[in-house]
Amino acid sequence: MVDRALVHRKLADLETYLDQMREFSGLSLDQYQGDWKMQRIVERTLQIMIETCVDIAGHLIADSNWRSPTSYSESFVILKENVVIDSPLSVSLERMAKFRNVVVHRYDQIDSEIVLVILRDHMIDFERYRDAVLSYLAAPRTL
């Protein structure tokens, strides 16, 4: 059975991060590239947000005895397979999980334009994820 209190705490954390990131949603490319402190704050907060989503997915997957993911991005595929999230949201979150790997492992130089696209166009995906998880938790389950 899903530990609802734990998932709700993580969703509350995600909401806090969303609120914090709204401050940066109007940044221009020049502003972003010209301020290393801002870059660090935004990149690290995005990393934490993505990891929070993966952690929530991991709890839902484990507690529901679904197949185990082999990567962070596959966690969202499994949620899609089990009708927790829809396909477009799964694709977006899979991409964000891969972006998180770039941030964490510094596989490549972080593309500032990608960061700004996430800030401007994909914060809504975190909200959609939150709403999908809440809907999943609220739905009656049969044994």
**Mind listing the pLDDT tens digit for each residue in 1-10?**
788 999 999 9
Contact 126, 120 (CB under 8 A): no
Does the pLDDT value for residue 55 go beyond 90?
Answer: yes
Mean pLDDT of the chain: 93
Maximum CA extent, the chain: 55
pLDDT of residue 101: 86
Does the pLDDT value for residue 91 go beyond 70?
Answer: yes
Tokens of 81: 């397979």
Using CA atoms, how far apart are residues 103 and 18, in angstroms rounded to an integer? 18
Q: What domains does the chain contain, in order, with CATH numbers?
A: 4-138 (1.20.120.580)
pTM: 0.93
